[in-house]
């Protein structure tokens, strides 16, 4: 019952935030209350992960869930930082890079086929080359290079897991990662390349759906090969 309640909290808080951006087409105010509000959906997912498999976690049977929980907690801090984009944007990027490192571990040691590796390598290189040409700050270029590498690594691991297992859970996790990547790409294009109408609304929908997919896709046992 508790796990369903946490999912309801996630859905309600997500709808509230998405509706705000859809109606007003502007960012949340740069306040602590707004930061906590933006982090609430992800905190709800942390509660869901720990409640749905608490016994398995205690027996260390679901070690990957610990990395999912850690990634969610870190990303909630990243969400709070990005509520203050003028002062904490770089900090938020670093936190989300750590999030993707946690997720990559949670998806296991699958490596997938050679084409999967090539596809994500090309996504990483082409995405970075497109964005970095519009970024004047060298430090930011380095951060984007590292962050995009962590992001594509997570995409590669989740896709490789699906290739190996061919389960519904693996597919949902892979889809969640792709949505997360899409959200970040939309934000980067809007910030540095060209403005995208309803950018905040679109990026939030894909981001929260992506996080939900990653959580639902990793709360099932999977083979760590």
Residue 109 has what DSSP assignment? S
Number of domains present in the structure of the chain:
1
**Residue 199 structural domain:** 2-218
Q: Is there a domain that residue 223 lies in?
A: no
Extract the tokens encoding 4: 């369903």
- The pLDDT tens digits of the residues spanning 95-116 come to 999 999 999 999 988 888 899 9
Q: Does the reported pTM lie above 0.85?
A: yes
User: In the structure, what pLDDT confidence band is assigned to residue 218 with cuts at 50, 70 and 90?
Assistant: confident
Is the pLDDT assigned to residue 56 strictly greater than 60?
Answer: no
Weakest-pLDDT range from 14-23, 88-97, 205-214: 14-23
**Cα separations in angstroms, 187 against 28, 63, 161, 205:** 16, 32, 27, 12
Q: Is there a domain that residue 102 lies in?
A: yes
- Can you state the angle between helices 63-82 and 85-106, rounded to 10 degrees? 170
CB atoms within 10 A of CB 154: 26
């Amino acid at each position: 019952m508790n796990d369903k309640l946490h999912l309801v909290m996630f859905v309600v808080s997500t709808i509230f935030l998405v509706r705000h951006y859809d109606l007003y087409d502007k960012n949340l105010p740069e306040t602590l209350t707004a930061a906590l509000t933006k982090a609430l959906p992800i905190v709800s997912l942390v509660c869901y992960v720990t409640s749905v498999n608490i016994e398995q976690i205690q027996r260390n049977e679901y070690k990957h869930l610990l990395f999912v929980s850690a990634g969610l907690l870190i990303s909630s801090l990243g969400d709070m930082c990005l509520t203050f984009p003028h002062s904490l944007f770089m900090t938020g990027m670093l936190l989300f890079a750590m999030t993707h490192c946690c997720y990559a571990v949670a998806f296991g040691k699958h490596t997938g086929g050679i084409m999967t590796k090539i596809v994500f390598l090309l996504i990483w290189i082409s995405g970075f080359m497109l964005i970095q040409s519009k970024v004047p700050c060298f430090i930011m270029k380095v951060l984007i290079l590292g962050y995009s590498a962590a992001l594509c690594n997570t995409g590669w691991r989740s896709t490789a897991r699906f290739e190996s297992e061919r389960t519904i859970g693996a597919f949902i996790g892979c889809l969640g990662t792709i949505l997360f990547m899409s959200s970040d790409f939309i934000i980067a294009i809007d910030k540095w390349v060209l403005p995208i109408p309803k950018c905040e609304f679109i990026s939030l929908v894909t981001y929260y759906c992506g996080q939900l997919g990653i959580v639902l896709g990793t709360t099932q046992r999977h083979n760590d090969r």
